[in-house]
Amino acid sequence: MATKYVFVTGGVVSSLGKGIAAASIGALFESHGLKVTMMKCDPYINVDPGTMSPFQHGEVYVTDDGAETDLDLGHYERFTNVVTTKKSNITTGRVYQAVIEKERRGDFLGSTVQVIPHITDEIKAAIRAVADDADVVIVEIGGTVGDIESLPFLEAIRQFRQDCGRGNAVNVHVTLVPYLKATDELKTKPTQHSVKELLSIGIQPDVLLCRTDRHLPEEMRRKIALFCNVEERAVIQARTVDTIYEVPLRFASEGIDSILLEMLNLPRGQRDLSKWQAIVEGLKNPRQTVRIGIVGKYVSLADSYKSLNEALLHGGLANGAKVELVYIDSEKLEDGSFPEDISTVDGILVPGGFGTRGIEGMIRAIEYARVNRVPYFGICLGMQTATIEFARHVCGLEGANSSEFSADTPYKIIYKLRELVGVNAMGGTMRLGKYACQLKPGSKAWQAYRADTVWDRHRHRYEVNPDYVAILEQHGLAITGRSPDRVFVEVIEIPDHPYFLACQCHPELKSKPFAPHPLFVSFVKAALVHQEARVAADTAAGIATQDTPGDTVAVATEGGNVAAKNPAIATAEVVTEGPSKVAVEAFCA
C-alpha cells in the first residue's frame, strides 16, 4: 500500500490549533490500526527554535536524537505513538541552508538555483524522508495562508499532490468562523477569503476544520461548502472544548476519520476510542484538587511551559486530581517579600530556563520549600538553583553561584559543561537529547521509576561541579541519580524532607495523558499528601482556638509531619492510619 499524506494548513489568524488538530487526526488514524508519522514545517528563517525567546515562540521541544524543535511536536507525541526525530521538523532556514550547501559543493553546477524547483524539491524530499514505513504521514504547515514566508512550503505541497496522485494526498484547512457580538451571528466571510487565498496558489482544500466557540448551524455549513467548493460533510465543526484531549472525540463524532479514510482509499478498522473517553472522564470528574506553584521566568506566556503544564495535568490524572497551575514570576520574589500565592500552593516547581533574570527569586522560592517542608520538584535550571540554594544556606558557602550568572563567584557550584569550554556559539551547542541515568535504589526517584537505569531528554549547557559534591553530601544532599560514566549529577534529593527532588533532565517531554511520567505522578502525590496534612493541621488549629493553651491535638494523616499553626496548641501528634485518611481529634484539659 502506498504511503498516504495529509497536509494541514491554517488561515485567517494564527494560533487556531493546527497542531492539536493534526495530532487529533493522527490519533484517529491510529484508532483504526494505522501506523502514523507526523511532521511540522515552520516558515521562519531560524535553523531551529533553539535560540528563540520563549515569549515569541513558546517552549522548545527536544527529541530523543537531540533536535530542538517546535512545541507542536509535543502535541504529536502526547496524542499518538509517534516518536519524533530531527526529520520531524524543518524550517525555511534549514531548507535554505541545505540547498546552499549543495550549491557550494557543486551539486547544481550549470544551474541557476531558484525557489522553484530547488527549494521546493528540498522540501518535498524532507517530507518523503520522514515517511519510512508509515501508512499515513501528517504534515502541518506552520504560519497562516497569505504570509509570504510560507509560500515555498505551500507550493511544495501543491506539487506533492500532483506527484503522488489525488487518491494519495488530501488537504485539510483549519480556519476561523468568528462570532460578532454586535449582530449576534457567526461570519463565514473570513473562511471564504482564506480558501480563496489557497485556491489562488493552486490548492483546493478537501476538508475544512471551522474553529468556532459555539455551534455551527447546518445552513452555515452548507453556505461554506457552496462558496468554498467543499463537500458539505467535509465542513467540520471544530468547536472550543474544555480540554484539548476531548478534540479526538469531537472530531470522531463529526466523522472526519471516515471522510479521510474514504478520500485516501484506506481500510476502516475497528475504531477504539475508549482510552480517550477515560482520559476526558478523569479530567472532567476529578476526586480532588491540588495547587502547584510554578516559579519561573516566562510565566506570562503559558506556552513557554507547554509540555510542563500538560505533564502536571497527567500527574494529576494518575492521582485522580485536578491540578490548578499557579504561575509565580520569579522576578517578583527578589524584592524580599513572598506573594500570597506561594503560601497557598501544595507543591512548588521551578522549571528550566536560561540567563540571570529571576534567578535569586527562584532560589528564595526553593529555600521557602525546603524550610517549610513543602514538596519541591526542580527541572534542569530548577536542579541547578536548588543545588546553589543548598550550598549557600545549608553548607554555608556564602556567595555560591553558577558561572552562568556570576563569573567571579567564590564557589562555582554550577559551571559550564567541560566539553563546551571555549565554545561560544549558541545554536545546538548544548547537551541535547536522550541520555541514561542510573538511580540509587530506595531513593524517591527510584521509587517513582521502579527502575535502576532510566532514559530522559536533556537540554542544558551547565552542570553540577563535581568538586563540590562531597561537601554537599556531607551536609545532607543526596545524589540519587548519575550518568553511567559518573560524570554528570542527574538527580538530587533531601532524604529528610517529605519530597525534595530535582533532576537535570526534562521529564515533561516524555509524559503522555495515557502514560504519565513517573516523576510527575510522584510529585503530585506528594503535593496531595502535603495538602491533606495542611488541612488537618488547620482544622486542628481551628478546634484548639476554642480551648486553652496547653491542649494536645492528635492529627492522623498519610505521611509527613503536621506543624500546628496556632500558638494555643502545645503539641501536635501525627498518626499514620492508611491511605487518604485524615482524622483530627482534640484532647482538651
Phi and psi angles of residue 260, each rounded to the nearest 5 degrees, phi first: -70, -40
**Beta strand residue intervals within 440-484, DSSP E:** 453-460, 462-464, 478-482
The answer to whether the beta carbons of residues 572 and 537 sit under 8 Å apart is: yes
380 is a catalytic site residue? yes
Three cell numbers, residue 254: 463529526
Q: Estimate to the nearest angstrom the gap between the alpha carbon of 383 and the chain centroid.
A: 18
Catalytic residue among 77, 140, 508, 532: 508
Q: Which helix (H) or strand (E) holds 558?
A: none
Q: Please give the C-alpha separations between residue 269 and each of 28, 30, 261, 266, 403, in angstroms, as whole numbers.
A: 10, 9, 10, 9, 57
Find out whether 272 and 31 touch, Cβ atoms under 8 Å: yes
Q: Of the residues 380, 395, 437, 505, which is catalytic?
A: 380
Note the residue count of the chain. Answer: 589
Q: Which of 506, 517, 530, 532 is catalytic?
A: 506
Residue whose C-alpha cell is 535550571: 381
Of residues 353, 437, 439, 445, the one with CA closest to residue 402: 353
What is the Cα–Cα distance from 233 to 22, expressed in whole angstroms? 19
**SS3 category, 556:** strand
CA 167, CA 58: separation in Å to the nearest integer? Answer: 36
C-beta of residue 320 within 8 angstroms of C-beta of residue 284: no
* DSSP-assigned states of every residue in 83-125: ---GGGEEEHHHHHHHHHHHHHHTTTTTS---IIIIIHHHHHH
Cα angle for residues 517, 240, 516 (degrees, 5° grid): 5
SS3 label, residue 382? helix
Query: Is 475 annotated in the active site?
Result: no
Q: Are 76 and 88 in contact (CB under 8 A)?
A: yes
233 CB burial (10 A radius; 0-12, 13-18, 19+): middle
Q: Is 473 noted as a catalytic residue in this protein?
A: no
Alpha helices in 357-497 (DSSP H): 359-371, 381-393, 444-449, 469-474
Q: What is the sign, positive or negative, of the torsion defined by CA atoms of 509, 513, 514, 520?
A: positive
Contact 60, 172 (CB under 8 A): no
> Which three-class secondary structure state does DSSP give residue 552?
strand
**H helices present in 211-305, as ranges:** 218-228, 247-254, 256-263, 274-284
* Cell numbers describing residue 136: 499515513
| CA 106-108-112 angle, 5° bins | 125
Phi/psi of residue 377, nearest 5 degrees? -135, 120
A 10 A CB-CB count for 405 gives 17
Rounded distance between C-alpha atoms, residue 457 and residue 460, angstroms: 10
The answer to whether 334 and 358 have CB atoms below 8 angstroms apart is: yes
Q: By C-alpha distance, which of 136, 143, 83 is closest to 457?
A: 83
The cell 459555539 sits on which residue? 214
- What are the residue numbers of the active site? 380, 506, 508
